[in-house]
A and B are shown apart, each in its own frame.
Chain A
Amino acid sequence: MIRRVARRLLFGLFTIFSVYTLTFLMVVALPGNPLQQGERTLSPEVAQALRARYNMDNNWLYYWQFLRGALRLDFGPTFTYTEWTCNQILASALPVSAVVGVLAILLAVGIGVPAGVVCAVGRNGFLDMGLMVMVLVGISLPSFVTGSLLLALFGVYLRWTPVGGWGTLAHLPLPVVTLSFPFMAAMVRLTRMSMLDTLSGEFVRTAVAKGAAPYAIISRHALKPAFLPVLTYLGPATAQAMTGSFIVEKIFCVPGLGQHFVNAALNRDAGLILGTVICFATMLVLFNLIVDILYSYLDPRVVGAV
């Protein structure tokens, strides 16, 4: 087990390294000058001095320098916000996104999985149809619509929550709910499908024949195997939710990580682009690994997966 995990970690490192290299190439290929701010043209002397300061006049040097830093978990300076290092920005933004993301995923699992089970058990019934329509709406409605509606209703009209920002518990519900909608919808569908599949299995028929109570059949026998596809989805979904959603953060002005993915690219802020991408890649690798480990607990058949 430990050897397998170590091997996976090694592969993970390689993946992150490749992602870094590819991103770096794209950053180099980007048109536009990160040192230029606003409409004014930089004088060549100042531009040269600044480029030399950041080693940007030599891509190769910059590539290794950044990598060396990244290995020590130091992502260097930012060009757009010079007073803040990439580390400080990541350290202030990642926990925010992580809290919103984890809560959103918990909410999505907490509501999505039971709803999926209910749908599967009463398939094609009234409840199933109703829930599936809601799921369809949940998947189709973009976050900026649901988010704006929630904000207008609870923030401006009812004044139950503050309008945007961060810092108190009252700031949490709206972004969490908005972020969880698409995940929740996906989980209802996944759980329903795999639950339907499991319920038609032979071992379920055996359990029914032995006279087990319906609740026990669903919770003890069927749910565990039916949960596996959901778990597969949970890994990348958690990484995605925890590293922030640009749209949800933008609507609610949440100071999370999502905005930096977009803004750093728009600002051509090489350090921050690389920092955020490495951060995301690392989390993705880690969560996939965790999911695989959990897999072998839930389903002894897939020991080889790790």
Chain B
Amino acid sequence: MLHRLLLLIAFFLAVICWGHSRSRLELRADLTYVNPSDIHTLDPARMSWTTDFRVALNIWEGLTSWDPETLHPTAGAAFFPPRVSDDEGELVFTLRNDARWSNGEPVTADDFVRGWRRGIEPGCAADYAFLLTDHITGADEYVQWRQRWVSALTALVRLRDGWDIDVRLAGSLLDPEIVLNLKSLGELALAQQLERLAGKPDDALGPAIRELGAGWSRIHSELLEVHGNRLDVEFSRVGIRALDERTLTVQLSKPCPYFLDLTGMPVFLPCHSSIELLRERHGRAALSETGLVLHDPQWTKPDYHRNGYPGLITNGAFQLTEWTFKRRARMAKNLFFHGADAIGCRTIDMVVYDNLNAALMAYEAGQVDLLPDLTVPYVHELVRRAESGERKDILRCPVSATYFLNFNCRSRSLNEAPNPMSDPRVRRALSLSVDKEMLVIKVRARGDRIAHSFVPPDATAGYVPPKAPGYNPDESRRLLSEAGYSGGAGLPPISLLLTQNDERLGQALARTWERELGIRVELTVKESKSFSEDKAERRYMVARGNWFADYNDPTTFLNCLASGNGNNDSGYSNAEYDRLLDEANRIADPESRFQLLSRAEAIVVQTDFPIVPILHFSEPIAIKPYVHGIHANARLWFPFRFARVSR
């Protein structure tokens, strides 16, 4: 018995050893860097994480690129700068003759149109679609039109399968365009019935439509085909056009001085035509059942070959040669890249260490060359050593980002109780007693910069942000009694909503408020998803917030506080502020534009206080001294084509 057992164990051990020796021992890449979380997605249309951008911008190249140090736009796949038409409404990009895909094919203007179209198509598009819809003529209208059809087709799929539909889906079937199309398909009776339902109360609409019991399946496939045939016609109204193989024109819907900073971003990357092999098709339409443009999400893998797909083809300095989940992504020099001769590293490895403590140990042990995230419990000690010059390999990136507090500006909040934060005097009082210096230097101690404005002062050349008033508890107490809460009397406990990462900061802040103003503060610490939901549902009086610049312009910050903006978490609304932003949007002259924006920001940080800026992040990163050409830039993107390693 025992012998047999031992034999079994020996056999098992042999199998493990054999299995492991088979995983070929590859040479270490020229440069290895850590990604703490693995890639979330490599689909440029969908990505929104800096860690994903870092990979994408090394394997693809947009029309423009950035200087690795200053991040000023430079030439990319197109010549720089593009030709600008007289009224600045149209840009004409000409692609380089030697812009090539990693399989050697030339990069064409159509590839860019395909990529940008994916950036706004419902089904492909995600967080960053607004960069296209906000700036390109007709893009927003196209998306809205698509959304209406997607809703209607989704409703028809649900009806076909015999499910209930909610008000939103039901309403989409009453859309005049849908009704009109039903009529032209010969579904006169149904169209008339739908028209008659227009006045129905919300909750009765869904069941009423279901009772019509039409031939939903047939109607669905007919409408899907009609819609599929209209797609290209409607898209031709969007201001992106390929004039010939190498010329791309872009029609801007408003003056956009920072547009060339956008054109290198992931949503503006080109897309190789092979992706169409993986497009989901339903019936005769090249769309999914619900009218979405869907590609097999695995198209971004280098070794994916369904339907004869050749694997991911990109046009950047590197190409992805291997990607294993939660382990590693390997990039190799793209030999067809126009600047291939100047690339210093043959291979780049992205390795996943979800424990940054281990990542730092691996860095110290020399297994890793670049560690772009040092969020370890003892980071303040590393920062101290970097500041004292003891650790020259730890650099600090002045990230273009602001950490702030949101005040809930709505008149009612939490359980419909009156919200004292809707009074600007209370917000002002609270913000004047935020001791930023203490919070940033003593509590966080990560070498961040104290924030006196929402827009980081050095983010955009030429823009001087207004300065918020400093720490002044006396004034703060005076304002509070002016608002009728003398010594904090009559003020309900302030609910302060935080995530786990800023608990210490929150405690220090609460202590200051309680000490200086005599108010009571209730801390609510949530993990990030619950936090987001509470914030979205306005279950807070004060909540932490942070914002990372999407592009190099003050509006990336200031737009967040415009009335009705999806990221306006404080619910702030000021007509004058909106007007100033709007006016600035229509001006092309940078100087007067920046003046208007600065006036708008002054309303926020000096008068209304919907937010209190606390700090601008300085991210510490570690780079081995033998790695050259990687700079501590404000967006934490590292173009590896400029990296040189001399071990």
Q: What is the interface of chain A, defined by CB distance below 8 A to chain B?
A: 31-33, 36-43, 45-46, 48-49, 52-53, 57-58, 61, 77, 80-84, 88-89, 92-93, 99, 102-103, 106, 148, 151-152, 155-156, 159, 162-169, 172, 219, 250-253, 255, 259, 266-268
Contact A250 B355 (CB under 8 A): yes
Contacts of A163 in B (CB 8 A): 358, 361-362, 365, 367
Known A253-B353, A266-B527: A84·B48 in contact at CB below 8 Å: no
Contacts of A92 in B (CB 8 A): 324-327
List, sorted by A's number, 19 A–B pairs whose CB atoms are closer than 8 Å.
A33-B529, A33-B532, A36-B529, A39-B545, A45-B122, A52-B150, A53-B292, A83-B39, A83-B298, A155-B362, A163-B367, A164-B362, A169-B17, A172-B16, A251-B358, A252-B358, A253-B355, A259-B354, A266-B529
Known A37-B48, A77-B297: A253·B361 in contact at CB below 8 Å: no
Known A45-B147, A253-B355, A266-B527: A38·B325 in contact at CB below 8 Å: no
Known A52-B154, A82-B46, A152-B361: A167·B122 in contact at CB below 8 Å: no
Contact B355 A58 (CB under 8 A): no
Contact B362 A46 (CB under 8 A): no
Contact A165 B362 (CB under 8 A): yes
Contacts of A159 in B (CB 8 A): 365
Compute how far the CA of A31 lies from the CA of B528 in the bound complex, rounded to whole angstroms.
11
Contact B122 A151 (CB under 8 A): no
Contact B359 A164 (CB under 8 A): yes
Closest A residue to B129 by beta carbon equals A46
Compute how far the CA of A39 lies from the CA of B157 in the bound complex, rounded to whole angstroms.
32
Contact A148 B357 (CB under 8 A): yes
Closest A residue to B15 by beta carbon equals A99
B524 within 8 Å of A (CB atoms) = no
Contact B123 A53 (CB under 8 A): yes
Closest A residue to B122 by beta carbon equals A49
Which residues of chain B (6-32) have a CB below 8 Å from chain A?
A: 9, 12-13, 16-17, 19-21, 23, 25
Contacts of A155 in B (CB 8 A): 361-362, 365
Distance in Å: Cβ of A45 to nearest Cβ of chain B: 4
Closest A residue to B364 by beta carbon equals A156
Contact A40 B358 (CB under 8 A): no
B242 within 8 Å of A (CB atoms) = no
Contact B40 A37 (CB under 8 A): yes
Compute how far the CA of A103 lies from the CA of B545 in the bound complex, rounded to whole angstroms.
46
Closest B residue to A39 by beta carbon equals B546
Q: Name the 6 nearest CB pairs between A and B, nearest first.
A: A32-B529, A164-B358, A163-B362, A255-B326, A45-B147, A41-B566
Compute how far the CA of A172 lies from the CA of B16 in the bound complex, rounded to whole angstroms.
10
Contact A38 B297 (CB under 8 A): no
Contact A41 B536 (CB under 8 A): yes
Contact A103 B567 (CB under 8 A): no
B471 within 8 Å of A (CB atoms) = no
Task: For A166, give its contact among B49, B327, B357, B529 (CB under 8 Å).
Answer: B327
Compute how far the CA of A41 lies from the CA of B157 in the bound complex, rounded to whole angstroms.
27
Contacts of B12 in A (CB 8 A): 102, 106
B41 within 8 Å of A (CB atoms) = yes
Count how many chain B residues have C-beta atoms less than 8 Å from C-beta atoms of the other chain: 75
Contact B355 A61 (CB under 8 A): no
Contact B365 A151 (CB under 8 A): no
Contact A83 B42 (CB under 8 A): yes
Contacts of A103 in B (CB 8 A): 13, 16
Distance in Å: Cβ of B142 to nearest Cβ of chain A: 13
Compute how far the CA of A52 lies from the CA of B354 in the bound complex, rounded to whole angstroms.
32
Known A102-B12, A168-B23: A156·B361 in contact at CB below 8 Å: yes
Contact B354 A250 (CB under 8 A): yes
Contacts of A88 in B (CB 8 A): 325
Compute how far the CA of A81 lies from the CA of B298 in the bound complex, rounded to whole angstroms.
10
B241 within 8 Å of A (CB atoms) = no
Compute how far the CA of A151 lies from the CA of B365 in the bound complex, rounded to whole angstroms.
11
Contacts of B163 in A (CB 8 A): 58, 61
Contact B168 A83 (CB under 8 A): no
Known A33-B532, A48-B151: A167·B23 in contact at CB below 8 Å: yes
Closest B residue to A37 by beta carbon equals B48
Task: For B48, give its contact among A38, A80, A81 (CB under 8 Å).
Answer: A38
Compute how far the CA of A36 lies from the CA of B534 in the bound complex, rounded to whole angstroms.
13
Compute how far the CA of A218 lies from the CA of B74 in the bound complex, rounded to whole angstroms.
79
Distance in Å: Cβ of B591 to nearest Cβ of chain A: 31
B533 within 8 Å of A (CB atoms) = yes
Task: For B150, give its contact among A49, A152, A266 (CB under 8 Å).
Answer: A49
Contact A253 B352 (CB under 8 A): yes
Distance in Å: Cβ of B491 to nearest Cβ of chain A: 28
Distance in Å: Cβ of A250 to nearest Cβ of chain B: 5
Distance in Å: Cβ of B545 to nearest Cβ of chain A: 8
Compute how far the CA of A61 lies from the CA of B127 in the bound complex, rounded to whole angstroms.
27
Contacts of B2 in A (CB 8 A): 219
Contact A83 B361 (CB under 8 A): no
Contact A168 B20 (CB under 8 A): yes
Contacts of B297 in A (CB 8 A): 77, 82-83
Contacts of B566 in A (CB 8 A): 40-43
Distance in Å: Cβ of A107 to nearest Cβ of chain B: 10
B523 within 8 Å of A (CB atoms) = no
Compute how far the CA of A80 lies from the CA of B52 in the bound complex, rounded to whole angstroms.
13
Known A49-B150, A52-B290, A163-B367: A89·B530 in contact at CB below 8 Å: no
Contact B325 A255 (CB under 8 A): yes
Contacts of B536 in A (CB 8 A): 41
Contact A83 B529 (CB under 8 A): no
B478 within 8 Å of A (CB atoms) = no
B619 within 8 Å of A (CB atoms) = no
Compute how far the CA of A252 lies from the CA of B151 in the bound complex, rounded to whole angstroms.
47
Contacts of A251 in B (CB 8 A): 355, 358
Distance in Å: Cβ of B638 to nearest Cβ of chain A: 20
B464 within 8 Å of A (CB atoms) = no
Compute how far the CA of A58 lies from the CA of B154 in the bound complex, rounded to whole angstroms.
12
Contact A267 B529 (CB under 8 A): yes
Which residues of chain B (490-541) have a CB below 8 Å from chain A?
A: 527-530, 532-533, 536
The interface centre, meaning the residue of B300, B353, B545 with most chain A CB atoms within 10 A of its CB, is: B353
Which residues of chain B (307-345) have a CB below 8 Å from chain A?
A: 324-327
Contact B288 A41 (CB under 8 A): no
Contact B361 A81 (CB under 8 A): no
Contacts of B358 in A (CB 8 A): 151, 163-164, 251-253
